[in-house]
Chains A and B, each alone.
Chain A
Amino acid sequence: MEKRMLSIKPLFLLITANLLGMLIVIMNKDIQSENIVYLCALMCLINVIAYLVINLCALGDGYLFIIISMLSSIGIIMQTRINSDNGIRQMMLYLAGVFCYFITIIVYKVFHKYWNRLTLVYFGVSILSFILTALLGAVKNGSKNWIIIGGISIQPSEFIRILFVLSLAAVLTNGKFKKNKDQVEDKKMKRLRLGIVAIIAYINAFCLLLQREWGIAVLFFAIYLSYLFIYGDSKLFFSANIFAALSAGFIGVKFMSHIQVRVSTWLDPFADATGKGYQILQSMFAISAGGFAGSGIGHGAPYFIPIVSSDFIFSAICEEMGVLGGIAVLLLYFVLVYRGFKIALSSTNDFNKAVSIGLSVMLGVQTFIIVGGVVKLIPLTGITLPFISYGGSSMITTFIALGILQAISSMKGEVTDEIE
């Protein structure tokens, strides 16, 4: 195992950013609650401990956690600035997320032999939760995608993202398909494999469309296409899928009023500035108001933007930290996605490789869909900004996803392909 030089510098930067950011927010908002101070201290402590544990116990990639924490801190600072109660909850979610992160690392490493055999479980649980949401679901922000269990509302579609990646990766790399003696699968088997992948992907996408989760449906399709591109050989099949997606999109724009609204407000938000275009216009106004340097935390007016704490949090960041701040946040995601792909490239286990590809694409495309949406680069679809948007399901899921990446990065060289 390689020896790692422990660098304190990134940790130092993270802690400094945390303390300064929270100090500004607390002073500006004149927050009296002592809990925030304690939680902030606890957060910094957890930052230090987790960073040291990952680096000293050689738990793989040393940068993932520090980037995630930086993003979460920016999220917490913004959430506290918008609503201090939400900020406290977001801090606790962060702590819970870190806990899940480490549990995931341990569980994934301990049971690493079994993960690629559970396709049916992944798929079954996904379908089950779709059905449960349809039967018991509550409606929030126009989408019926919440289940309330024991007073806690959960968004199953957030968790399904990980199951989706795992199920596709399992089908694509499952050893059972390599039955012939040269260990080289024949064409027929490969086709069967891609066929199953396609079926799983389309069923998932269909269920999401029924729930009106456009954003996540697009995200799933992007993951599916990436897999097709990497693991499939047939250009025809790949093009056919793109064509299917395009025609589905076209039909959606032509015949489904919700999608029409999204596209038309994207093209001309001023056409119905006080109605359908209101959200996106408020977002544009916020970004414009911030300029390159931003108004400063606490000096903007993010409360003009609807659902600012979840979908539109990036606009608030741009307003108060400036477009330069927004770009810095994008670069953090960029580095995170890059690390994810790097883990995929260096992974020696087929299944792990496939999983890390899926998770990296998920993280990258999800960020693009929501950021591109709120800055009016693409039509807006409601989806959360990983680690920053307010919301438990999203926070915990992304921590688990990144926990899996962290676990895979630590398994490099240890686990090679095992053939049954």
Chain B
Amino acid sequence: MKLNKKIITVMSVVCSLFLVTVIYLTYFMLFEAKEISNSTYNQRIWAKEEKVLRGNIFDRNGVVLAESEQTEGRQKRKYPFGKLYAHTIGYNNRTYGKTNLELNFNDYLLKTESVIDVLKRDDSDKSLDKGANLELTFEHEMTKLASSLMEGSNGSVVAINPKTGEVYCMYSNPTFDPNEENLLKNWDELSAREDSAFVSRATQGRYAPGSTFKIVTAATAIESGFGNFSLTDSGSVKIGGHIFNNAGKKSYGNITMHEAIKYSSNVFFTSISQEFSKKSFEYMAKEFHITKKIPFDLDVKWSELDFDAMDNVEIASTAIGQGKLQLTPLNMALVSCAVANNGSIMKPYIVNRAYHEKGNTIYKAKPSVLSSPIKMNTAQQIKEYMISCVKGGTGTRAQVGGITVAGKTGTAENEKKGKTHAWFIGFAPAENPQIAICVMKEYSGSGGGSVCAPIASKIISHAYKTGLISAN
């Protein structure tokens, strides 16, 4: 009957409304709920937090970096070292919400012991339920040192164990005091600042990498079979109608890649970039996670770069870290990690574990390989060149007595004329790398070899003296 057919159609429409609602609810729960519930407007978070004493945060040696105290029924989050960890641990307060680790590890910081653990507890223990503590991979003294070395200039210091991915130090300047009362006092001023103190330069700031990027270019060339490439460097070269000069128009004569890295020859690397394919360059950028997100405990920025659309001049500019390419200091630290760790990048992490004071570990970071952009031989070859760069090239100021340092300097031109970014990436000890480092000073106007290499040297020397790394 025709009427009944039409009724069935209407029924199907009405019933599909239910189906749509069910699907939407499931979708919402799977993909949107988490982000929405983290909103600062969500009073539920605070309602729950009143019942749980937020877990503390420690560095690798047990130094307290963030702690919660119960006073007059209200909790207070304290950061004893103020501005040192604002960009990594972040802040947690009712007015401005949560950021960084305080946000990303909120669930652990508020996770109370399971019912069984509580039952096992001593009856006399009547303390408030406590969330899990976090143990970070940071070394507090190194962060303090980095902060004092960066005093007065903007930029970032990142130090990572290339064998495991543990981040020893991640510090960005300018920074701010995340303690609630100071945040309340300074918020307007901080928001108005032009150099945006809220931005973590290490993970969120993107800069032209300058000559430090030649490591990636060299890696692409070696992997593409141009490891023995040599040319006569007359101080400048013309590519696609554009003239590329060496710094100070210095000419190095007949050079191989070894000298090219040691002295940072622009002529060599712009020329060699014309030899390998765009595809292999693009592939390398992706494998180094420069054009791909780095999975990390903090939010990171990455670049989108269309290598296919680039002409020869742009490829040449990119090969020496100029042009459109911009990346974060964390990115460059990982490039250094790849060379240090025989071609493999370990996934970086800050939170080593989350644990209950009287109970079990509920989260433990497991070192894992993030990607292996280059072969072991390629890594060895580049390592040799980086050693001689520090031994007798542009990076001599990174030397540390007693151990061999490998490194590469960079001085990147940018939109502000004469205010170059200064870079240094490196690792030590070269024979058995245990620390990889990236130092960046934005708009410093000086060379990486003169302002960043000394900082790297002091950080590595500190790690050596305190026994964080050993000579071999």
Question: Are the chains A and B members of one assembly?
Answer: yes
CB <8 Å contact, B10 and A230 = yes
Say how far B41's CB is from chain A's closest CB, in angstroms. Answer: 5
Contact B43 A287 (CB under 8 A): no
Q: Does A229 contact B (CB under 8 A)?
A: yes
User: What sequence of 0s and 1s flags, for each residue 225-238 of chain A, a beta carbon within 8 Å of any chain B beta carbon?
Assistant: 01001110000000
User: Which of A32-40, A71-79, A192-200, A329-337 lies on the face that meets chain B?
Assistant: A329-337
Which interface class (under 10, 10 to 19, 20 to 34, 35 or more) fits A?
Answer: 35 or more
Partner of B10, one of A270, A334, A353, A361: A361
Choose one: B8, B14, B22; the contact of A345 (CB below 8 Å).
Answer: B8
User: Residues 1-22 of chain B: 1 if any A CB is under 8 Å from the residue's CB, otherwise 0?
Assistant: 0011011111100110110111
- Complex Cα distance A161/B287, Å? 64
CB distance from A253 to the nearest CB of B (A): 21
Chain B contacts of A385 at CB under 8 A? none
**Does A357 interact with chain B (Cβ within 8 Å)?**
yes
Interface with B: A93-101, A148-156, A367-375, A400-408, which one? A367-375
The verdict on A291 contacting chain B, using a C-beta distance below 8 Å, is: yes
Residue among A287, A318, A361, A377 making CB contact with B14, cutoff 8 Å: A361
Q: Scoring B residues 423 to 466 as 1 if CB is less than 8 Å from chain A, else 0, what string do you get?
A: 00000000000000000000000000000000000000000000
- Check: B37 CB closer than 8 A to any chain A CB: yes
Cβ of A243: which chain B residues have Cβ within 8 Å of it? none
For A368, the chain B residues whose CB sits under 8 A away are 14, 17-18, 21
Bound-state Cα–Cα, A302 to B26, Å? 20
Q: How far is the CA of A323 from the CA of B18 in the complex (A)?
A: 14
Give the residues in chain A near B26, CB-CB below 8 Å: 323, 327
The interface residues of chain A lying within 8 Å CB-to-CB of B11 are 337-338, 341, 360
Q: Which applies to chain A's interface (DSSP): helix, strand, loop or mixed? A: helix
Q: Check B18–A364 contact: CB distance below 8 A.
A: yes
At the interface with chain A, which of B27-35, B58-66, B88-96, B217-225?
A: B27-35
Interface size class, chain B: 20 to 34
Q: Does A297 contact B (CB under 8 A)?
A: no
Beyond A281-B41, A365-B17, whether A287 also contacts B33 by CB under 8 A is: yes
Judge whether B280 is part of the interface by a CB distance below 8 angstroms: no
- Whole-angstrom distance from the CB of A282 to the nearest CB of chain B? 8
Cβ 8 A contact of B39, one of A270, A323, A357, A371: A270
- CA distance in complex: A361, B14 (Å): 7
Name the A residues within 8 Å of B3 (CB-CB).
Answer: 230-231, 353
Instruction: Check: A285 CB closer than 8 A to any chain B CB.
Output: yes
A67 contacts the other chain (Cβ, under 8 Å)? no
Given contacts A345-B4, A372-B20, 15 further A-B pairs with CB under 8 A are A230-B7, A281-B41, A285-B41, A285-B43, A301-B44, A301-B47, A304-B44, A330-B18, A330-B21, A331-B22, A337-B18, A353-B7, A360-B11, A371-B21, A372-B17
A-B contact pairs, 21 of them (CB 8 A): A226-B10, A229-B9, A230-B3, A230-B6, A230-B10, A270-B39, A273-B41, A284-B36, A285-B36, A287-B25, A288-B36, A301-B43, A304-B43, A327-B22, A337-B14, A337-B15, A344-B7, A360-B14, A364-B17, A365-B17, A368-B17
**Nearest 9 pairs between A and B by C-beta?**
A288-B37, A288-B33, A364-B14, A341-B11, A368-B17, A230-B6, A285-B42, A273-B41, A334-B18
